[in-house]
C-alpha cells in the first residue's frame, strides 16, 4: 500500500515494482552542477529565443542539460564542452540557425518549470526543437535541487510536494509526462519536436565487458516510448555514441570526458554532435525529412588519397621539414616530397599529408589529423614526425601551437588569444598528442611508426646539434609507453652530417638552420629507409 506523508512522499514497507517509481532515482553521476542555482547569471549568457533567426528561415532550438551546454557560459572555460556547441556545424546556416538553450543542472522537470516558457516565446511554425533530458532526473523530490521525476512514462502518476527550503508547493509528474508536454506544446506552436536519448556516461557495463553502459532500460526506453506514442522523431543518441565508444581503447574513451564521468571534453562533445546529426539523417520518420535537406558536413573529411586496389597507403604526417614548397630545384624541400626515392610505388601508395608550420597540437586542432584517421584502412602505415613547432612561447597566443613539455597524461585549460579568435582550449603534453595519434592508427588496423624530428644545422662543440635531452627523450618515453615502432631519423641523419662535416653540410640546408634543400631532403629520406630496415619494420618490405 502506498501512503503519502505531508510532504507527499511514500513510506516503503514491502515495495512493489510499481511503487519503486515513487522513490527518487540515485544520482549515479555524483557530479555537483550548480548552474541551475545561478539562473540570473546564466540568463545573461543564454540566447534570447529566436534571436538567431534569419528572415523567415526556421530555427533549431536545443533543449537539454550540461551534456548539451556545459557551465554557465558554455564556452569550455573549465575544459568541458556540451555537444550543442558543435551542433551548428551540421546545419546550413543559410537555411536554418541553431540556438543552444540547454542549461546545466536541469532535469526534464526543472527545465519545463523554469526555462521552457521563455524558449517557447521564440518558437514559430516550421521551427524544430531537439529535447535531450534525463541526466538530472534523480535525487530527492522536495529538497536540495528538487529535480527528480517519477520513473517511467505514466500520464496519471503524480506527487504533491512542498519544497523544504522555500515552502513552494509543486506537483511532480513522470519523466515521460514531461516529455509529452514538450512534444505537445512544441507542436501546438506549429514546430517539430525531436526526442533524443541521453549521451553516454564514462562507464563500462559490468555485465558486458568492453561495452559502454546504455540507458535502454530507463531514460532511453522511456523517451523512445513517448516518441512512438506521439509519432515523434526519435534519435537514440545514447546508442549511436556508445557504439563508437565501444570501438575505442579505454584510454581513448576516457579522454572524451573531462574532470568527471558525465561531462565531455571537446573530443566527446564533437563525437556526440556528429552522432546527433547521424541519427537525424538515418531517421525514417516522415516529420524529419524536411530537416535533412538543411543539413551539411555529413561526410567525414578525408585527405583525398587515391587508392589503388591491392596496395596499402603510407601516410606521412609532420611539418615543413616533411612537406615544404617542394618545387624549385634550388628551394626548400621536405623529405616527404622525395619519399618516392625510397618507397616502391608499384607496391605502396605514398600520401604526404604533412603541413608546414604545424605542431602535433595544431595539426590535430585544424582537423588535419582527422582526415588521415578517416582515410585509414587495415594494412596502411602512418609515419608521425613532429617537434620543430611544438616548443616555444606560443602556447596561448600567436600561432597557439606549442604543447606542454614532456609525455605525462596531463593537460591544462588555456585562454587562447590569436589574431583570428579568442577561445578556451585544453592543451596536452607533446607525448600525449603522439600517444593519441598512435592509438588512433591502431584502432583502424593500421601501423603507426614514430619518427624523430630532423636535426638542425647548428654545431655546438663542433658536432651537429642533438636534442636527445628533450624531444629525443620524449620520443623514447612514448615508445616505452606504447611499444610503437620508432625510426630515430634525428640521430641517423645527425650521424651522417657529423661524418660529412660542417662545411659540406651547408649544401643540405636552405635559407635557415631548419629547412633542407632537395639534397638534404633526400638524405633524410634515406635515413628513414635505413631506420626502417634497422628495426625490421613491416613497412621495410615496400622499400626499393
Each residue of 510-527: pLDDT tens digit? 999 999 999 999 999 999
Phi, psi dihedral angles at 288 (to 5 degrees): -95, -5
The candidate with the shortest Cα–Cα distance to 49, out of 59, 40, 57, 39, is 59
Q: What is the mean pLDDT of the chain?
A: 93
Does the pLDDT value for residue 14 go beyond 80?
no
Q: What pLDDT band is residue 4 in, cutting at 50, 70 and 90?
A: very low
d(CA 349, CA 1): 73
- Report the relative pairing of strands 158-162 and 169-173 from DSSP bridges: antiparallel
Q: Could you name the CATH architecture of 37-131+173-292?
A: 3-Layer(aba) Sandwich (3.40)
340, 372 Cβ separation under 8 angstroms: no
> What proportions of the chain, in percent to the nearest 5, are helix, strand and coil?
35, 15, 50
Element (H, E) at 278: helix 266-282
173, 182 Cβ separation under 8 angstroms: no
- Report the relative pairing of strands 59-64 and 128-132 from DSSP bridges: parallel
Q: For 426-467, what is the HEC assignment?
A: EEEEHHHHHHHHHHHHHHCCCEEEEECCCCCCCCHHHCCCCC
Does the pLDDT value for residue 77 go beyond 60?
yes
Q: Helices 489-500 and 518-534 sit at what angle, rounded to 10 degrees?
A: 120
Does the pLDDT value for residue 5 go beyond 50?
no
Output the pLDDT for position 6: 32
For residues 160-184, average pLDDT: 95
144 phi-psi bin (left φ>0, alpha ψ -120 to 50, beta other): left
The candidate with the shortest Cα–Cα distance to 478, out of 456, 448, 454, is 448
The dihedral formed by the CA atoms of 123, 129, 132 and 136, expressed in degrees to the nearest 10: 10
Angle at alpha carbon of residue 292, lines to 286 and 295, rounded to 5°: 165
237, 272 Cβ separation under 8 angstroms: yes
pLDDT, tens only, 21-52: 666 666 666 555 555 555 556 665 678 999 99
Phi, psi dihedral angles at 427 (to 5 degrees): -105, 135
Residue labelled with grid coordinates 516550421: 126
Helix (H, G, I), strand (E, B) or coil at 93: coil
- Give the bridge partners for 427, in sequence order: 412
Output the pLDDT for position 15: 46
- Report the relative pairing of strands 313-317 and 381-384 from DSSP bridges: parallel
Does the pLDDT value for residue 1 go beyond 60?
no
CATH of domain 313-542: 3.40.50.1110
Does the pLDDT value for residue 459 go beyond 60?
yes
Does the pLDDT value for residue 438 go beyond 80?
yes
The candidate with the shortest Cα–Cα distance to 489, out of 516, 511, 462, 512, is 516
37-131+173-292 and 313-542 share one fold:
yes
Q: What pLDDT band is residue 205 in, cutting at 50, 70 and 90?
A: very high
d(CA 278, CA 301): 15
d(CA 519, CA 333): 8
Output the pLDDT for position 145: 82
d(CA 374, CA 144): 46
Does the pLDDT value for residue 12 go beyond 50?
no
Higher pLDDT, 406 or 420: 406
For residues 373-386, average pLDDT: 98
Element (H, E) at 138: none
Does the pLDDT value for residue 9 go beyond 50?
no
Total count of residues recorded for the chain: 544
pLDDT cut 70: percent of the chain above it: 92
Q: What pLDDT band is residue 144 in, cutting at 50, 70 and 90?
A: confident
Output the pLDDT for position 2: 34
Phi, psi dihedral angles at 371 (to 5 degrees): -65, -40
Q: For 46-79, what is the HEC assignment?
A: CCCCCCCCCCCCCEEEEEECCCCCCCCCCCCCCC
pLDDT, tens only, 278-313: 999 999 999 999 999 999 999 999 999 999 999 999
Output the pLDDT for position 7: 36
Does the pLDDT value for residue 401 go beyond 80?
yes
d(CA 151, CA 140): 13
d(CA 202, CA 535): 38
Q: Is residue 516 classed exposed, middle or buried when 0-12, 13-18 and 19+ CB atoms within 10 A define those classes?
A: buried
Domain extent listing, the chain: 37-131+173-292, 313-542
d(CA 161, CA 8): 5
Count the neighbouring beta carbons within 10 Å of the beta carbon of residue 227.
22
Output the pLDDT for position 24: 62
d(CA 194, CA 277): 12
Output the pLDDT for position 21: 60
Q: Is residue 154 classed exposed, middle or buried when 0-12, 13-18 and 19+ CB atoms within 10 A define those classes?
A: middle
263, 65 Cβ separation under 8 angstroms: no
Residue labelled with grid coordinates 638534404: 520
Output the pLDDT for position 11: 38
pLDDT, tens only, 322-353: 999 999 999 999 999 999 999 999 999 999 99
The candidate with the shortest Cα–Cα distance to 514, out of 322, 300, 274, 290, is 322
Strand arrangement, sheet containing 349-352: 349-352, 313-317, 381-384, 447-451, 485-487
Q: What pLDDT band is residue 165 in, cutting at 50, 70 and 90?
A: confident
Output the pLDDT for position 419: 85
d(CA 254, CA 203): 9
Does the pLDDT value for residue 542 go beyond 90?
yes
Output the pLDDT for position 3: 30
Higher pLDDT, 291 or 143: 291
Helix (H, G, I), strand (E, B) or coil at 172: strand
Helix (H, G, I), strand (E, B) or coil at 35: helix
Output the pLDDT for position 37: 54
Amino acid at each position: 500500500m502506498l501512503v503519502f506523508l505531508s510532504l507527499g512522499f511514500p513510506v516503503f514497507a514491502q515495495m512493489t515494482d510499481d511503487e519503486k517509481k515513487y522513490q527518487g532515482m540515485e544520482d549515479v553521476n555524483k557530479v555537483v552542477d550548480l548552474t541551475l542555482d545561478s539562473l540570473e547569471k546564466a540568463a545573461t549568457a543564454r540566447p534570447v529565443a529566436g534571436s538567431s533567426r534569419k528572415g523567415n528561415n526556421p530555427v533549431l532550438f536545443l533543449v537539454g542539460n550540461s551534456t548539451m551546454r556545459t557551465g554557465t557560459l558554455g564556452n569550455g572555460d573549465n575544459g568541458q564542452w556540451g555537444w550543442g556547441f558543435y551542433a551548428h556545424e551540421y546545419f546550413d546556416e543559410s537555411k536554418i540557425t541553431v540556438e543552444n538553450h540547454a542549461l546545466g543542472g536541469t532535469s526534464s522537470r526543472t527545465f519545463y518549470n523554469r526555462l521552457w516558457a521563455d524558449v517557447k516565446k521564440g518558437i514559430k511554425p516550421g521551427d524544430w526543437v531537439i529535447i535531450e533530458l534525463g541526466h538530472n532526473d534523480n535525487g530527492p523530490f522536495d529538497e536540495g535541487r528538487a529535480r527528480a521525476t517519477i520513473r517511467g512514462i505514466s500520464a496519471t502518476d503524480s506527487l504533491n510536494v512542498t519544497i523544504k527550503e522555500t515552502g513552494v508547493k509543486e506537483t511532480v509528474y513522470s519523466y515521460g509526462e514531461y516529455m509529452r508536454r514538450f512534444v505537445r506544446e512544441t507542436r501546438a506552436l506549429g514546430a517539430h519536436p525531436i526526442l533524443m536519448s541521453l549521451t553516454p556516461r564514462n562507464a563500462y557495463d559490468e555485465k558486458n565487458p568492453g561495452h559502454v553502459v546504455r540507458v535502454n532500460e530507463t531514460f532511453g526506453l522511456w523517451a523512445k516510448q513517448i516518441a512512438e506514442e506521439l509519432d515523434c522523431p526519435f534519435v537514440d543518441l545514447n546508442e549511436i555514441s556508445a557504439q563508437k565508444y565501444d570501438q575505442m581503447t579505454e584510454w581513448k574513451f576516457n579522454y572524451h570526458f573531462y574532470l568527471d564521468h558525465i561531462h565531455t571534453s571537446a573530443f566527446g562533445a564533437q563525437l556526440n554532435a556528429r552522432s546527433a546529426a547521424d541519427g537525424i539523417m538515418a531517421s525514417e520518420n516522415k516529420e524529419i525529412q524536411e530537416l535533412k535537406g538543411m543539413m551539411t558536413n555529413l561526410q567525414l573529411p578525408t585527405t583525398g588519397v587515391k587508392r589503388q586496389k591491392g596496395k596499402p597507403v603510407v601516410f606521412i604526417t609532420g611539418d615543413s621539414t616533411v612537406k615544404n614548397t617542394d618545387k624549385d630545384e634550388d628551394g626548400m624541400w621536405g623529405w616527404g616530397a622525395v619519399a618516392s626515392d625510397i618507397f616502391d610505388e608499384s607496391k605502396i601508395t605514398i600520401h604526404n599529408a604533412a603541413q608546414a608550420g604545424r605542431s602535433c597540437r595544431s595539426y590535430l586542432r585544424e582537423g588535419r589529423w582527422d582526415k588521415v584517421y578517416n582515410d585509414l584502412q587495415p594494412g596502411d602505415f602512418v609515419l608521425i614526425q613532429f617537434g620543430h613547432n611544438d616548443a616555444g612561447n606560443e602556447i596561448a597566443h600567436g600561432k597557439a601551437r606549442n604543447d606542454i613539455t614532456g609525455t605525462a597524461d596531463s593537460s591544462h585549460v588555456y585562454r587562447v588569444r590569436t589574431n583570428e579568435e579568442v577561445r578556451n582550449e585544453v592543451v596536452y603534453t607533446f607525448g600525449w598528442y603522439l600517444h593519441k595519434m598512435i592509438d588512433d592508427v591502431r584502432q583502424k588496423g593500421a601501423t603507426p611508426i614514430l619518427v624523430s624530428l630532423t636535426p638542425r644545422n647548428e654545431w655546438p662543440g663542433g658536432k651537429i646539434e642533438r636534442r636527445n635531452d628533450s624531444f629525443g627523450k620524449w620520443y623514447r618515453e612514448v615508445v616505452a609507453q606504447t611499444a610503437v615502432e620508432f625510426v630515430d631519423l634525428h640521430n641517423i641523419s645527425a650521424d651522417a652530417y657529423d661524418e660529412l662535416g660542417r662545411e659540406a653540410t651547408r649544401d643540405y640546408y636552405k635559407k635557415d638552420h631548419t629547412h633542407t634543400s632537395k639534397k638534404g631532403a633526400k638524405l633524410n629520406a634515406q635515413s628513414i629507409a635505413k631506420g626502417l630496415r634497422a628495426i625490421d619494420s613491416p613497412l621495410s618490405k615496400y622499400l626499393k
